[in-house]
Structure 1
Amino acid sequence: MIQKAFRQYISNFQGFSREIWILTLVTFINRAGTMVLPFLSKYLNEDLHFPLSQVGTIMVFFGCGSMLGSWLGGKLSDTIGFYKIMIFSLLVSGLMFFGLQFITSFYGLCIGVFLIMTVSDMFRPAMFVSLGAYAKPENRTRALTLVRLAINLGFAAGPALGGLIIMGIGYKGLFWVDGLTCIIAILIFWVKVKEKKKSTYLDKNQPGDVLVQSVFKDKIYWLFLATSLIVGIMFFQLFTTIPLYHSKQFGLSEFQTGLLLTLNGVLVFFLEMPIVNYIEKNKKDKLKVVITGTLLMAISLLLMLVNTWAGILIIMMFFMSFAEMFNFPFSNAFAMSRAPKHQQGRYMAIFTMSYSLAHILSAKIGMTIVEAYGYQANWLFMGLLGITATFIGFYVLKLVAKEKLNVKNS
Structure 2
Amino acid sequence: MLQHAFNRYIDSFRGFSREIWILTLMTFINRAGTMVLPFLSKYLKEDLHFSYSEISWILVCFGAGSMIGSWLGGKLSDKIGFYRIMIFSLFTSGIAFFILQFITSFTGLCISMFVIMVIADMFRPAMFVSLGAYAKKENRTRALTLVRLAINLGFAAGPAMGGLIIMNIGYKGLFWVDGATCILAILIFWLNVKEKKKSKFTDKEHPGEILTHSVFKDKPFWIFLGCCTITGILFFQLFTTIPLYHKEQFNLTEFQTGLLLMMNGLLIFFLEMPIVSYVERKHLNKVRIVIYGALFMAISLFLMLINTWAGILIIMMLFMTFGEMFAFPFSNSFAMSRAPKGHEGRYMAIFTMSYSLAHIASAKMGLEIIGYFNRKYEHIYGHNFGYEVNWAFMGFLGIVAVFLGVWVYNLTNKEPENHLGEAA
TM-score range, shorter chain: over 0.9
**Are residues 10 and 67 of structure 1, via their aligned partners in 2, closer, same or farther at CA, if it must alter by over 3 Å?**
same
Select 2:396's aligned residue among 384, 389, 395.
Answer: 384
Alpha-carbon distance in 2 for matches of 1:30, 1:162: 13
- For 1:350-406, what per-residue CA distance to the aligned partner results, in whole angstroms no more than 9, with x for missing partners? 000000000000000000111122111101100001101101110111110112269
Aligned pairs for 1:10-409 within 5 A: 10-199=10-199, 203=203, 209-373=209-373, 374-404=386-416
Deviation of 1:2 after TM superposition, in Å, equals 4.0
TM-score of the superposed pair, with normalisation by structure 1: 0.97
User: Unaligned stretches of 5+ in structure 2?
Assistant: 374-385
Shift of the alpha carbon at 1:218?
0.8
Is this contact kept in 2: 1:207–1:404, CA < 8 A? no
1:285-335 C-alpha deviation (Å, 9 max, x unpaired): 011001110111111101111111111111111100100000100000000
Distance 1:180 1:186 in 2: 10
SS at match of 2:414: helix
Query: Which stretch of the first structure deviates more once superposed, 201-210 or 223-232?
Result: 201-210
User: What percent of counterpart residues are identical?
Assistant: 72
Report how many aligned residue pairs link the two structures.
Answer: 408
- Opposite residue 70 of structure 2, the aligned amino acid is S
Distance 2:304 2:263 in 1: 17
- Alpha-carbon distance change, 181 to 407 in structure 1, aligned in 2, over 3 angstroms: closer
TM-aligned CA distance change 1:405 to 1:29, over 3 Å:
closer
Q: Structure 2 length as normaliser, TM-score?
A: 0.94
Conservation of the 8 A alpha-carbon contact between 2:36 and 2:175: yes
3-state SS of 1:16 partner: coil
| Structure 2 CA distance for partners of 1:200 and 1:381, relative to 1, 3 Å | farther
Give the aligned residue type for 1:233: I
Change (3 A) 1:208 1:145: farther
Q: 1:118 Cα shift?
A: 0.5
> How many angstroms does 1:137 deviate by?
1.7
Q: Is the 8 A contact 1:82 1:130 kept in 2?
A: yes
Report SS of the residue matched to 2:416: helix
Is contact 2:210–2:418 with CA below 8 Å preserved after alignment? no
> CA contact under 8 A between 2:32 and 2:153: conserved in structure 1?
yes
Q: Deviations over 1:73-132 (max 9, x none)?
A: 000000000000000000100011110011011000001111011000000000000000
Q: 2:153 & 2:365 partners in 1: Cα distance? A: 28
Q: CA deviation at 1:244?
A: 0.8
Structure 1 residues 208 and 372: CA distance shift in structure 2, 3 A: farther
Aligned to 2:379: none
Name the SS of the counterpart of 1:212 in structure 2: coil
SS of match in other structure, 1:24 = helix
Question: Residue 4 of structure 1: CA displacement?
Answer: 3.8
CA–CA distance in structure 2, aligned partners of residues 208 and 50 of structure 1: 54
Deviations 1:254-278 (A, max 9, x none): 1111111111111111000011001
Q: What letter matches 1:382 in structure 2? A: M
Partner AA of 1:153 in structure 2: L
Aligned residues of 1:202 and 1:341 also touching (Cα < 8 A): no
Preserved contact between residue 290 and residue 330 of structure 2 (Cα < 8 Å): yes
Change in 2 beyond 3 A, CA 1:73/1:407: closer
Q: In the alignment, is the contact (CA less than 8 A) between 1:207 and 1:407 conserved in 2?
A: no
List gaps (5 residues or longer) in structure 1: none
Change (3 A) 1:232 1:407: closer
User: How far does residue 201 in structure 1 lie from its aligned partner after superposition?
Assistant: 6.3
**Distance apart, 1:139 and its partner CA:** 1.0
Q: Distance in 1 between matches of 2:215 and 2:303?
A: 37
**8 Å CA contact retained: 2:137, 2:203:** no
**RMSD across aligned C-alpha pairs, in angstroms?**
1.6
**Counterpart Cα distance in 1 of 2:338 and 2:210:** 10
AA paired with 1:275? Answer: I
